[in-house]
Amino acid sequence: MPFNTEQLRREFPALQQEVNNKPLIYFDNAATTQKPKAVIERILQYYSRENSNIHRGAHFLSQQATDAYEDARQTVQLFINAAFTHEIIFTRGTTESINLVAYSFFKKFVKKGDEILISAMEHHSNIVPWQIACEDYGAILKIIPMDERGVLDLEAYKSLLSDKTKMVAVTHVSNALGTINPVKEITQLAHEMGAAVLIDGAQAMSHLKVNVQDIGCDFYCFSGHKLYGPMGVGVLYGREELLNQLPPYQGGGEMIKEVTFEKTTYNELPFKFEAGTPNVGDVLGLEAAIRFVSYLRLDEIALHEQRLLNYATSQLQTLENIRFFGTAPEKTSVVSFLFTDIHPYDTGTILDKMGIAVRTGHHCAQPIMDFFGIPGTIRVSLAVYNSRSEIDQLIIALKKVREMFV
């Protein structure tokens, strides 16, 4: 059954406002999604009634907060079908999750001359941590190429893999192009060569049902705020066997078993990787977000978004001098485009005046823009609460932009 978008939108307070005296149309969901009341109220409740530091206190509030935090870990485990609860590490987000793995994995496994493979469509978060580590250890960063549609070249990938490859780090879904990558196949091929695999799931979680055991990857990363949850919280999933071998990323409270000035022993998983007081309130907000999308059902969300994507694409195609970026057969609800005769910032600014929020620029994926020889695109990224009538408004607004500039 199609969503009752009108009813669903009432759950999102931020969508009820006007921007520049126009009802807000929010199409910047790949940057961050708006938050449902269930998430906002969960955080409010935590700070109003449950706030306490966890894992250390014998008192009621501390015990209650500890239980809630550990229950949230289990909710994440079930959501992505991890084998064990202790394979779920809470972090600040995808960026921190990738940095954690790059740091700890290199320290344990990588030496001079080893190779790391990433793809041509990575977000800066899945480029720079590997660059930094490669520089420190004398390792080599290699790039899996893509074609003009934004589809990875798997034959080239196979030829890049060798016994020197220690890690393959690839995005599940491209934030700039929407491409869904064949991460299961990519993982299998890497494992045949003995390389570990990290999947950047930042753009996948709100659109696809993710099953980390089915994918078979060693690490999977995502952020709460792109999944209708709060900012400042995210997840690193890691396979137990590998996580146990990795050294800690940060030192401090929580991650230790015993400390003397001579020697410290580390805590077991997952605490070894969660130094310091965790972000309990936002972890509980993330749990509420997972419950929210689970209630709506990810397959239903995906269906709604695919219909919107098809509609938006067909409507945009009727406009003159429009060029699309990211036309892979398998993609999520992201449309990146440019008018060849109007600067993207001009388009974005005029749309904003009409209450329509889109993103213009390189979307933290400058190598993709270099590949296409452009400074940036206009990105419309759709979420569960968007509607066909909002797309109609966008088309009317874009026609006005064309009238003004051409």
Ligand X SMILES: Cc1ncc(COP(=O)(O)O)c(C=O)c1O
Among residues 29 and 347, whose Cβ is nearest to ligand X?
A: 29
Task: Quote the least distance from Cβ 404 to ligand X, whole Å.
Answer: 30
Does residue 123 touch ligand X according to CB under 6 A? yes
Stretch that binds ligand X, among 1-9, 50-58, 89-97, 335-343 (CB under 6 A): 89-97
Active site residues: 364
Dihedral sign, Cα of residue 33, residue 95, residue 83, residue 214: positive
Cα separation, 117 vs 130, in Å, equals 9
Question: Can you tell me which of 34, 75, 77, 95 binds ligand X, judged by CB under 6 A?
Answer: 95
Among residues 165 and 174, whose Cβ is nearest to ligand X?
A: 174
SS3 of residue 217 by DSSP: coil
Please, which residues have CB within 8 angstroms of residue 135's CB and are 6 or more apart in sequence? none
Residues forming a β-bridge with 235: 90, 222
Does residue 125 touch ligand X according to CB under 6 A? yes
Q: Which two tokens stand for residue 158?
A: 């196979």
Stretch that binds ligand X, among 10-18, 65-73, 197-205, 335-343 (CB under 6 A): 197-205
Question: Can you tell me which of 29, 99, 104, 171 binds ligand X, judged by CB under 6 A?
Answer: 171
Among residues 197 and 397, whose Cβ is nearest to ligand X?
A: 197
Q: Compose the 219-258 pattern: x for residues touching ligand X by CB under 6 A, - for all others.
A: ----x-----------------------------------
Site for ligand X in 140-159 (CB under 6 A): none
Task: Quote the least distance from Cβ 162 to ligand X, whole Å.
Answer: 26
Question: Can you tell me which of 11, 200, 274, 287 binds ligand X, judged by CB under 6 A?
Answer: 200
Residue 270, preceding bond cis, omega within 30 degrees?
Answer: yes
Task: Quote the least distance from Cβ 126 to ligand X, whole Å.
Answer: 6
Chain centroid, CA 40 distance in Å: 20
Among residues 134 and 334, whose Cβ is nearest to ligand X?
A: 334
Angle between helices 280-296 and 298-316 (to 10 degrees): 80
Q: What DSSP assignment string belongs to 249-294?
A: SS-SSSSEEEE-SS-EEE--TTGGG--SS--HHHHHHHHHHHHHHH
Among residues 175 and 377, whose Cβ is nearest to ligand X?
A: 175
Phi, psi of 317 (to 5 degrees): -65, -20
Question: Can you tell me which of 75, 104, 119, 203 binds ligand X, judged by CB under 6 A?
Answer: 203
Of 274, 236, 282, 232, residue with least CA distance to 252: 274
Phi-psi region of 364 (alpha: psi -120 to 50; beta: other; left: phi over 0): left
Site for ligand X in 340-369 (CB under 6 A): 364
Task: Quote the least distance from Cβ 235 to ligand X, whole Å.
Answer: 11
Question: Can you tell me which of 33, 75, 77, 94 binds ligand X, judged by CB under 6 A?
Answer: 94
Phi, psi of 2 (to 5 degrees): -65, 155
Chain centroid, CA 246 distance in Å: 23
Q: Quote helix, strand, coil % in the chain, to nearest 5.
A: 45, 20, 35
Does residue 93 touch ligand X according to CB under 6 A? yes
Q: Where does this chain bind ligand X (CB under 6 A)?
A: 93-95, 123, 125-126, 171, 175, 200, 202-203, 223, 364
